[in-house]
Amino acid sequence: MRMVDLIEKKRNGLSHTKAEIDFIIQGYTRNEIPDYQMSAWAMAVFFQEMNEEERANLTDAIVQSGDVIDLRAIAGIKVDKHSTGGVGDTTTLVLAPLVASVGVPVAKMSGRGLGHTGGTIDKLEAIPGFSVEITNKEFIDLVNKNKVAVIGQTENLTPADKKLYGLRDVTATVNSIPLIASSIMSKKIASGADAIVLDVKTGAGAFMKEFDKAKELAESMVKIGRDLGRETTAIISDMSQPLGFAIGNSLEIAEAIDTLKGKGPEDLTELCLTLGSHMVVLAKKANNLAEAREMLEGAIGSGKALQQFKVFVEAQKGDPSIVDNLNHLPQAKYKVKVEADVSGYVSSIVADKIGTGAMMLGAGRATKTSTIDLAVGIVLHKKIGDAVEKGEALATLHANNENINEIIERVKESYSITNKAEAPRLIYDVIG
């Protein structure tokens, strides 16, 4: 086989066989296929698409390019959740202990990553002492014992995706549904998931801003999952504004604890109950969504979910006193209110702009080597549809630096206030 012939084949709109896809992915991973040929191929895929069979074969080839985590030593059906990302998405921190508290094993492999805030691992490290530096054996033992543990991502997970994603980023080929779907699904499958719940975001703050595109991506990922033997369900949820109130690492830990106590933001709570219900059903711990939801609401009401979080934190050497004393989490030096200039109703909040504001405060990494400040971030007090009086606080900035006028302006500009506005819908669709 020659790569040049395969590029030509895709350029002409023909489909690849499984052997051809394996050749491309293996060759690229081993540096036998150069970046320029892979770029041309990715661009051909961008324009000519891939059929369902090619997408499943591509995903499988990416999975096989590196280590595949074996979670068979953990009893039960391991259900993983993935979000396509957004601003202030605190769901994993709530869902992991919540579904574990009703008996679903959660063996979560997470990353740090670039973005407005750190990844799940960074957020957890805001808990004094918390460590994800555990061996695979400790990880598996902890899940068997406590139903939940989180470990940092293995170095050699889907190396083909790491290389290809980096290449796509600089060749204008990120935004291709077959390439996105295979990239996301390969990571979930290689991490050992038996079943997968996807939270595909739509709206101005999402990766897939238009609903139709989000739906197309969700349908493609569900199909890939099933073709590769993993039950998969996708929720399409709103990211027209940040989720919950908090954007920042320790701020989101506090928000997750509030939510586990039943005192969290309405949208975050509802999304966690929806995603969690699907996880519980896929794990076969409930017969239907209504039963699953009742179990989860019961676990929040009885304090069982919160207790599960404490056990999880303690098992990974974190200080469990944060649960009862949120001020044991890292605190920023300055708390600065952003006030409304006019009265009315919040009609929009530009999520990306708020997210970048959090990053400018130091909550996220701009490059792989930047360090993040776990204490800083933004807490919103007003969401879309809320009434606001002139002079009332829209948000509070948690900062460790006094020179933040630019960020105050940025957050203020993110808000639009008009005569009338309604809260957006939270769940748009369920696929699967």
Catalogue the active-site residues: 82, 161, 168, 183, 187
Which residues are CB-neighbours of 263 under 8 A, at least 6 positions away?
Answer: none
Residues in the chain, overall count? 432
Q: Which of 104, 160, 180, 372 binds ligand URA (CB under 6 A)?
A: 180
**Nearer to Ca ion among residue 248 and residue 432 (C-beta):** 248
CA distance 344 to 276: 35
Phi, psi (degrees; rounded to nearest 5) at 163 = -65, -50
- Measured distance CA(290)–CA(281) in Å, rounded: 10
Please give the distance of CA 202 from its chain centroid, rounded to a whole number: 13
Query: How many residues of this chain interact with ligand URA, rule: CB under 6 A?
Result: 6
Non-local (6+) Cβ contacts of 268 within 8 A are 90, 91, 94, 243, 244, 255, 259
Q: Give the integer Cα–Cα distance in Å for 97 and 300.
A: 10
Residue 122 φ/ψ, nearest 5 degrees:
-60, -45
Q: Which CB sits closer to ligand URA, 365 or 410?
A: 365
Q: Using the minimum distance from each CB to Ca ion, give the nearer residue, 256 or 313.
A: 256
**Alpha carbon distance 23, 21 (integer Å):** 5
Q: Which is nearer to ligand URA, 188 or 382 (CB)?
A: 188
Q: Which of Ca ion, ligand URA, none does residue 90 bind to, with CB < 5 to 8 Å depending on kind?
A: Ca ion
Distance of CA 70 to the CA centre of its chain: 22
Please tell me the distance from the alpha carbon of residue 70 to that of residue 295, in angstroms, as a whole number. 29
In angstroms, give the least distance from the CB of 391 to ligand URA: 41
Q: Binding partner of residue 246 among ligand URA, Ca ion, none, CB under 5 to 8 Å per kind?
A: Ca ion
**Closest distance to ligand URA from the beta carbon of 307 (Å):** 33
Q: Return the number of the residue (162 or 285) whose C-beta is nearest ligand URA.
A: 162
When binding is defined by CB under 6 A, the residue of 57, 120, 183, 396 that contacts ligand URA is 183
Q: In whole angstroms, how close is the CB of 256 to Ca ion at the nearest point?
A: 8
Smallest gap, in angstroms, from Cβ of residue 46 to ligand URA? Answer: 12
Per CB under 6 A, 184 contacts ligand URA: yes
Asked if 260 contacts 313 with a C-beta cutoff of 8 angstroms, the reply is no
| DSSP state string for 359-424 | HHHTSS-SSTT----TT-EEEES--TT-EE-TT-EEEEEEES-S--HHHHHHHHHHEEEES---PP
Pick what 184 binds: ligand URA, Ca ion, none; C-beta below 5 to 8 Å, kind-dependent.
ligand URA
Closer by beta carbon to ligand URA, 174 or else 430: 174
C-alpha angle 206-263-314 in degrees, rounded to nearest 5: 90
CB of 398 to ligand URA, least distance (A): 28
Using CB under 6 A as the binding rule, whether residue 165 contacts ligand URA is answered as yes
Which one of 172-180, 287-295, 322-330, 344-352 is the stretch in contact with ligand URA (CB under 6 A)? Answer: 172-180
Instruction: Count CB neighbours of 104 within 10 A.
Output: 28
Positions in the binding site for Ca ion (CB under 5 A): 88, 90, 244, 246
Residue 244 binds which of ligand URA, Ca ion, none (CB < 5-8 A, kind-dependent): Ca ion
Among the listed ranges 179-187, 196-204, 304-312, 320-328, the one in contact with ligand URA (CB under 6 A) is 179-187
Contact region for ligand URA (CB under 6 A) — 3-11, 97-105, 175-183, 333-341?
175-183
CB 355 within 8 A of CB 242: yes
Say how far apart CA 217 and CA 182 lie, in whole Å: 10
Asked if 142 is part of the footprint of ligand URA (rule: CB under 6 A), the reply reads no
With respect to ligand URA, which residue has the nearer C-beta, 179 or 206? Answer: 179
Which residue number has the CB closest to ligand URA?
183
Residue 378 is a binding residue for ligand URA (CB under 6 A): no
| Residues making contact with ligand URA (CB under 6 A) | 165, 174, 179-180, 183-184
